[in-house]
Structure 1
Amino acid sequence: MKQILLIVLCSLPCLIMAQTNCSLFKDEAHKSACELYWKAIEYNQGSRESQELFVQSLKACPTYGPSLHEMSVPYLKRGDFFNWKQLMDRAVAADPIWLSDRGWCLFKFLRDYKNSFADLKRLYDINKGQPGYSGDGDYNLRIIMALNQRAMGNLKASLAYFNECITDHEKKEWVGLFDYLHLGVTRMMLKDYKGAIADLNRETKKYEKLADTYYYLGLCYKKLGQDQKAYTNFTQAKELFTKTGYYRNDPYCEVPDQVYLSDIEDELKKFKN
């Protein structure tokens, strides 16, 4: 599910709505920027027609958040991170709500964990502990904050954000699809193998057929000296990976805690030696 938030600036209070009625704006700058934005998104994303209309929109209102954001996306997808960030920095300067997208993309595409965390922590503070969700909808941004901390080597701080987010969501009977997986891997990194196994088993109840989970279960059982259980889980991971295709991947980049077939096969080979 994709949610579009439209933020209209230019010295007026921030207006956020699912779809902006351009006639609501009292001045021509806002109205024109809004109308040009809607014309731009009628064309294919990144097309010349679309980008030129965004340029016109920003000439009418240089801090019109939706145009700054949407114009930046094709640069991001092409790997032109310089131009993407130039536009996103302007969007964030206009309104901090765009910290969510910038922080998420800094994490996912640039592996800039320090600045990603800074963006998301700022939004976390502004929104009193509720920073929102990632651009793909897969993660509460507190999970991304936890993954940022983990990537910077701050495992205990990472665990604290994981626990805060997951405990909050367990009360609401909703936990992210991969949250227990990442929590389990983090406990494994802290050498809490029994705790990691408990979290990974919770992940199998959330997503029963994910190859990645069984691979990490295999690693944990191996560390505990339970070779038969390790072998069983590595075998299950390979079967899911090769026969059903249930494993984590992304068309743009490697995802957190992603497992490759070669990782699984390397572990299985050790049982034959």
Structure 2
Amino acid sequence: MRCLILIFLCCLPSIVKAQTNCDLYKDRAHKTACQLYWKAIEYNQGSNKSQELFQQSLQACPTFGPSLHEMSVPYLKRGDFYNWKQLMDRAVKADPIWLSDRGWCLFKFLHDYKNSFNDLKRLYDINKGQPGYSGDGDYDLRIVMALNQRQMGNYSTALAYFKECITDNEKKNGVGLFDYLHLGVTRMMVKDYKGAITDLDRETKKYEKLADTYYYLGLCYKKLGQRKNAFNSFTKAYSLFTKTGYHRNDPYCEEPDKVYLSDIENELKTFK
């Protein structure tokens, strides 16, 4: 089996979300904006031609959400957060459906946990507890809401959102790939090491070869004085990280609860 580095691109063009039948629009402005939108996405993302067509689309209809969103993405990838947010604010004003992308990207790129949570909570309320999924499809946005609350130090609120989301998705066999990991790390932060181990063990059953999980298991076992289990977990994390490349990684920014090789090596040194 070839090595795999987990790369999760965030806030890529939500083409599926933005798909629309231009013939459904009755007014000329929206129909023209829609047609220009579809022309724009035929070109490379961020290219002059693509952006020019999005501009024309917005000239036809300044509140056409799909064009506002897609035009914003290249700015986000370049780190031009000001222009990204200007466009996304207009998209959200036009249609609250874009709260999901703005909230996700505020969390992912800007680490603006308060405003990210506010966006997602607003969408949560609008959709009666179902805010949808992150731009990359990896997260039920209730997990992101929980991570936002955790980052703001509100651990009990974070745990409540984790439990709600995971319990709901367990019924549908739809628990996210990293949900148990984040829940386990959160329990570890509040010194519930046994509870954390239970959740992290569940993560290993969800995704057996993730180095990050074994690192956190090692930390929990170490806190409980179970040095043999801790050493074995750190060793497993090291092996997965160095020999197979199974660890959390992202080309744009640091992933939640990401572990570095130096973290694992530093823990292993304490056993010498």
Name the TM tier (shorter chain). Answer: over 0.9
Q: Indicate yes or no: 2:16 matched with 1:4.
A: yes
- Which amino acid in structure 1 is aligned with residue 60 of structure 2? A
List gaps (5 residues or longer) in structure 2. 1-11
1:132-211, aligned counterparts within 5 Å?
132-211=132-211
> Which residue pairs with 1:109 in the alignment?
109
Query: Deviation of residue 28 (structure 1)?
Result: 1.4
- SS of equivalent residue, structure 2 residue 249: coil
> Which residue pairs with 2:6 in the alignment?
none
- Structure 2 Cα separation of the partners of residues 37 and 119 of structure 1: 25
- Structure 2 Cα separation of the partners of residues 131 and 24 of structure 1: 26
Q: Indicate yes or no: 2:219 matched with 1:219.
A: yes
> Which residue pairs with 1:21 in the alignment?
21
Query: Deviation of residue 3 (structure 1)?
Result: 5.7
Query: Deviation of residue 23 (structure 1)?
Result: 2.7
> Which residue pairs with 2:244 in the alignment?
244
- Structure 2 Cα separation of the partners of residues 43 and 264 of structure 1: 43
- SS of equivalent residue, structure 2 residue 132: coil
- Structure 2 Cα separation of the partners of residues 122 and 24 of structure 1: 28
What per-residue deviation string (whole Å, max 9, x for no partner) do you get for residues 28-82 of structure 1? 1111101110110000000000000000000000000000000000000000000
- Which amino acid in structure 2 is aligned with residue 193 of structure 1? Y
RMSD: 1.1
- Structure 1 Cα separation of the partners of residues 23 and 119 of structure 2: 33
- Structure 1 Cα separation of the partners of residues 174 and 112 of structure 2: 29
List gaps (5 residues or longer) in structure 1. 7-18
Q: In 2 relative to 1, CA 204–3 (structure 1 residues): closer, same or farther, beyond 3 Å?
A: farther
Greater shift, 252-261 or 22-31, is seen at 22-31
Which structure's relative contact order is higher, taking Cα pairs within 8 Å and 6+ residues apart? 2
In the superposition, the TM-score normalised over structure 1's length comes to 0.94
What per-residue deviation string (whole Å, max 9, x for no partner) do you get for residues 230-264 of structure 1? 00000000000000000000010000000000000
Query: Deviation of residue 20 (structure 1)?
Result: 2.3
The total of aligned residue pairs comes to 260
- SS of equivalent residue, structure 1 residue 251: coil
- Structure 2 Cα separation of the partners of residues 115 and 23 of structure 1: 36
- Structure 2 Cα separation of the partners of residues 50 and 25 of structure 1: 22
> Which residue pairs with 2:131 in the alignment?
131
- Structure 2 Cα separation of the partners of residues 35 and 221 of structure 1: 58
- Structure 1 Cα separation of the partners of residues 32 and 15 of structure 2: 23
- Which amino acid in structure 1 is aligned with residue 96 of structure 2? P
- SS of equivalent residue, structure 1 residue 195: helix
> Which residue pairs with 1:95 in the alignment?
95
- Structure 1 Cα separation of the partners of residues 24 and 46 of structure 2: 28
- Structure 2 Cα separation of the partners of residues 142 and 123 of structure 1: 10
- SS of equivalent residue, structure 1 residue 257: coil
In the superposition, the TM-score normalised over structure 2's length comes to 0.94
